[in-house]
Amino acid sequence: MNQGVTTGASAPADPADTVSLWRRPDFVSLWIGRTVSTFGSHISGTAIPLAALLMLGATAGQMGLLTALGAAPVLLVGLPAGVWVDRLPRRPILIAADLGRAALLLTIPVAFAFHWLAIWQLFAVVFLVGVLTVFAEVAGHAFLPGLVPSSHLVEANGKLGVGDSVAEIGGPSVAGVLVQWIGAPIAIVFDAASFVVSAVSLRLIRVPEPARPVRGQASSGLAREALDGVRLVVGHTVLRALAGSMATFEFFGYFIATLYAFFAIRTLHLSAAAVGTLVGLGGISALVGSLVAERVARRFGLGRTLAGTLLVYGALDLLIPLAGGPPVVAYAMMAAPQILGDAFIAIHLITQTSLRQAVVPERMLGRAAATLRVLEQGVGPLGALIAGGLATITTPRLALAVGACGVMLASLWLIVSPVRNIRSLPPRPAGGATRADTDGRLGARQ
């Protein structure tokens, strides 16, 4: 018997499971808030780097530092965030994170209006927004399983992915136009407003959250609870393989994230609007992937879907460093990975998130999510810094090629692990961690 997740005896169907997610007001409120805030985040995700490049003359090294500072908070507050998410109600954490990020982002247009804007402020805002984003992502990951039945997790994550894809289609394209029309700092106002809309939508959710008694208040208690999440992930064959794969993906993916706009503008001489439309094209592909993720996973099995989609996505990214020639040819080569590749990564992320949520007990969701983010995204800042340094001493093309090859290697974690044999989601554990939870044997047949 392989260690993994398979199908066992089915439990009686819950009548609530048959209710469409679109007829669940709480899920609809969550979907609206997330879609709007993601749309805004795509605007600032494009506008802030463009502000650094076009208005402040940032170098490749400064672009690497900017990206690294956005990812670094997961290392500093990731594990404590998981503990607090499991101790406290998750919805207030999500609302506070939204309002805090709105306030921080508004400092950029204010500084611009008074001619105070400087690269150090972008560094500070990106870092602090990153801190709040860690809490928001961990809380959001843990909050969803309380809104929908376990059997609907892939569908729910797929629908959230559809919203993310719609935002990706419009957000960067709108950002590119806004940057050229009103300037990058002012465009960021739209992202701040989107976080306010998200906070209001979350406030409308009425589902009661289970009581979570506060266990240890001292720092020793905080550390002990954080280590529980680490032990769960490291000792679980499925979670360990997913973490290793995503850590590799994030490390090398940051090569591409750091240098994409820099390469397009400085090397290929594309406009800011063109860069925005390139990222927006990826949203169309991601939308298709989000719509078919559940069917693809059911057809090929979760394990094969996870490994195959990641491998193909990395292979398509190799077209980025190969781009060149006349602007129309360069644009087409940059567009191909967006149009084709984003569907594969959308399917991968939806199925992976659902699998994680299904195998972790409810009371451990926050700490497990935080541990996974620390293990995976903690390498992102290092990847960004190395990408900026490598591009400086060699060329951006070489650094981007290294990133694409590394993304392909991330699939090996899944291919050589029990994850490859997983066919479908198991029932999610309801209580504390058991031996089945920690060693990866989830009580099902091959």
Q: Name residue 11's amino acid.
A: A
Residue that is written with structure tokens 């058991």 in the block = 434
305-357 pLDDT, tens digit each: 999 999 999 999 999 999 988 888 999 999 999 888 888 998 999 888 888 88
| Mean pLDDT comparison of 50-59, 103-112, 171-180, 367-376, highest-scoring range | 103-112
pLDDT surpassing 80 at residue 85: yes
Rounded to the nearest 10°, the torsion over CA 140, 141, 146, 149 is 130
173 inside domain: yes
Token reading at 430: 């309801």
What is the rounded CA–CA span in Å between residue 365 and residue 216?
18
218 inside domain: no
Rounded to the nearest 10°, the torsion over CA 131, 136, 142, 147 is 180
**What's CA 22's distance to the chain center, in Å?**
23
418 inside domain: yes
403-421 pLDDT, tens digit each: 999 999 999 999 988 888 8
- Alpha-helical runs (H) found in 263-341: 272-300, 302-317, 319-322, 327-336
- Rounded mean pLDDT of 8-26? 58
At 10 the pLDDT is: 38
What is the rounded CA–CA span in Å between residue 411 and residue 311?
6
Angle subtended by helix axes 153-182 and 342-359, to nearest 10: 130
- Listed in sequence order, the residues at least 6 apart from 331 whose beta carbon sits closer than 8 Å to its beta carbon are 268, 270, 274, 278
Query: Residue 416 to residues 159, 178, 244, 249, 440: CA-CA distances in angstroms?
Result: 30, 46, 12, 16, 15
Token reading at 251: 């490390």
Q: How many separate domains does the chain show?
A: 1
What is the rounded CA–CA span in Å between residue 331 and residue 17?
45
Query: Do the beta carbons of residue 196 and residue 99 sit within 8 Å?
Result: yes
13 inside domain: no
Token reading at 270: 């594309």
Q: Name residue 123's amino acid.
A: F
Q: pLDDT band at residue 426, thresholds of 50, 70 and 90?
A: low
Q: Out of 90-104, 132-146, 215-229, 268-282, which region has the weakest mean confidence (pLDDT)? A: 215-229
Domain limits for position 33: 21-206+223-424+434-439
- CATH of residue 75's domain is 1.20.1250.20
Phi, psi of 445 (to 5 degrees): -90, 150
What is the rounded CA–CA span in Å between residue 145 and residue 154?
11
What is the rounded CA–CA span in Å between residue 88 and residue 139?
10
263 inside domain: yes
235-244 pLDDT, tens digit each: 888 888 998 9
Token reading at 378: 């903690």
At 12 the pLDDT is: 43
Query: Do the beta carbons of residue 57 and residue 265 sit within 8 Å?
Result: no
Query: Do the beta carbons of residue 212 and residue 83 sit within 8 Å?
Result: no
Residue that is written with structure tokens 């406030």 in the block = 203
- Alpha-helical runs (H) found in 236-266: 237-262
* Cα–Cα–Cα angle for 42, 75, 314, rounded to 5 degrees: 55
What is the rounded CA–CA span in Å between residue 442 and residue 4?
7
Share of the chain above pLDDT 70, in %: 86
What is the rounded CA–CA span in Å between residue 256 and residue 261?
9
| Mean pLDDT comparison of 65-79, 91-105, 168-182, highest-scoring range | 91-105
- Listed in sequence order, the residues at least 6 apart from 214 whose beta carbon sits closer than 8 Å to its beta carbon are 87
- Alpha-helical runs (H) found in 114-218: 119-143, 153-182, 184-203
- Rounded mean pLDDT of 136-161? 80
429 inside domain: no
14 inside domain: no
216 inside domain: no
